[in-house]
Structure 1
Amino acid sequence: MPDHTPIPIDSHRIADDEIGKPAVFGAILSGQPLEIHRNIFEGDFGRFRSGVWQCTPGLVAMKDWPYHEFCLLLSGRVIITPEGGSPREYKAGDALVLPMGFTGTWEILETVRKYYAVQARQPLLRRMKARVKGWLRPGPAKGQATTGQAGAQPGTAF
């Protein structure tokens, strides 16, 4: 039987004096940003993860971010600039969602520590199976109204 006990995500899972590794969440444009992350929880066969992340100052370009990510900044300041969009500064206490496919820059002004929760795209085979199931389901009887697009199933957008 699965354990359904809540799992606390403590920001102190990263020690204040801990040194990270060179950032890999994008291409480093300036500075020497070092990042640390602690996955605290993983579910849905690795498709959902949450934990604590920290990165030191630097400018990083991100291209086609592979997750929907919820972030709650615990400390630090960052300016996030979407490609073709306006820069916006975020600081401790701010929350944001970084949508899947995000392309732009993170300019980390002061070391950032955040809680995160990421949802990855479903594997291609799983998405295709869901679509085929939708196509194979019998449609409404002749003359009945339909809702939504043919073959569209909840949860298959990823």
Structure 2
Amino acid sequence: MTAPTPVVPSVYLSAEEVLRGGLPDRISMEPIVEGTPFATERVLLDSVDGFFAVWECGPGVYPRVKDRRGSFMYILSGAGTITDQEGTVHQLTADTVLLLPFGWVGTWTITETIRKVYLHSTPVAPLREDVQPSVFLDAETVLRGEWPEIVPMDPIVSGARTANELTVFDGPDGLAAMWECEPGIYPRVKDHHGSFMYIISGAGTITDQDGTVHELTAGSALGLPYGWVGTWNITETIRKFYVHTFPALGA
């Protein structure tokens, strides 16, 4: 007899938990040049799909080298800069998107406590050997930009047959994009990758295979691990930042 396929649940935090909820885990910020020695975070998922968490850190200067994984993040609040090794500087504010691929080298300078939702991914071969630049989107582009790429939404039960998106990064760390879709009902199976996302605007629900329902609103965070089966029901056009990872290879 064939064993039943295990039900893979989604992971979810409401907007209140993401934006203002407690962060129980304390983590070292070493190495530091100056500033807050510890950050705090709340982990949503730690698996072969990726490490998905909400994180907060006070002011300071923190050199970093991405020699084990890539990082994808959405800044929720605060201010600072990220400086690549070659000198490029990006201003970090609420609603900016930042990607630090495997191979990135540079420095965080936090001037006002930063809170973010982020994903660490395991890169897959072949890995780049040279130093990689950061990838950045400013808040104006994130909140009001137009996404030129048209992607099919099949299969659908009802609603729009296409969505719009903007690919931000596509490499061994994963694929990151901005995405927007009008109301509709969309069954989905995560049989190629895990998906992690932050809802920027809009409303709807996500229903797991076992019937668990989560309310999607601006500020909520959602992870759909490899093997997840369920249904999106978008009731108000949703705009989100998402990352696809490659767990089968990354493992």
TM-score interval, smaller chain:
0.5 to 0.7
Structure 1: 5+ residue stretches without partners: 124-154
Q: Which amino acid aligns with 2:218?
A: A
CA contact (8 A) 2:190 2:225 kept: no
Distance in 1, Cα, partners of 2:166 & 2:177: 6
Which of 214, 231, 237 is 1:111 aligned to? 237
CA contact (8 A) 1:23 1:33 kept: yes
- In structure 2, the partner of 1:86 is 212
Which of 223, 227, 232 is 1:101 aligned to? 227
TM-score, length-scaled by structure 1 = 0.65
Runs of 4+ off more than 4 Å: 18-22
CA RMSD across the alignment: 2.5
Distance in 1, Cα, partners of 2:196 & 2:185: 20
Distance in 2, Cα, partners of 1:11 & 1:63: 27
Q: Which amino acid aligns with 2:167?
A: N
Pairing of 1:3-152 with structure 2 (within 5 A): 3-9=131-137, 10-11=141-142, 14-15=145-146, 21=150, 23-24=152-153, 26-44=154-172, 48-122=174-248
Distance in 1, Cα, partners of 2:167 & 2:212: 31
Distance in 1, Cα, partners of 2:170 & 2:149: 22
Q: Which has the larger radius of gyration?
A: 1
DSSP-derived class of the 1:53 partner: strand
DSSP-derived class of the 1:27 partner: coil
CA contact (8 A) 1:35 1:56 kept: yes
Q: Which amino acid aligns with 1:41?
A: F
Deviation at 1:111, TM superposition (A): 0.7
Deviation at 1:48, TM superposition (A): 0.8
Distance in 2, Cα, partners of 1:37 & 1:13: 13
Q: Which amino acid aligns with 1:6?
A: S
- Say how many residue pairs are matched: 120
Residue identity (%):
28
Q: Which amino acid aligns with 2:177?
A: G
Distance in 2, Cα, partners of 1:22 & 1:8: 22
CA contact (8 A) 1:23 1:55 kept: no
Deviation at 1:31, TM superposition (A): 2.0
Higher normalized strand content (fraction of residues): 2
Cα distance change, pair 89–12 in 1 and its aligned pair in 2 (3 A): closer
CA contact (8 A) 1:42 1:50 kept: yes
TM-score, length-scaled by structure 2 = 0.42
Deviation at 1:61, TM superposition (A): 0.6
DSSP-derived class of the 2:157 partner: strand
Distance in 2, Cα, partners of 1:41 & 1:30: 30
Distance in 2, Cα, partners of 1:43 & 1:22: 19
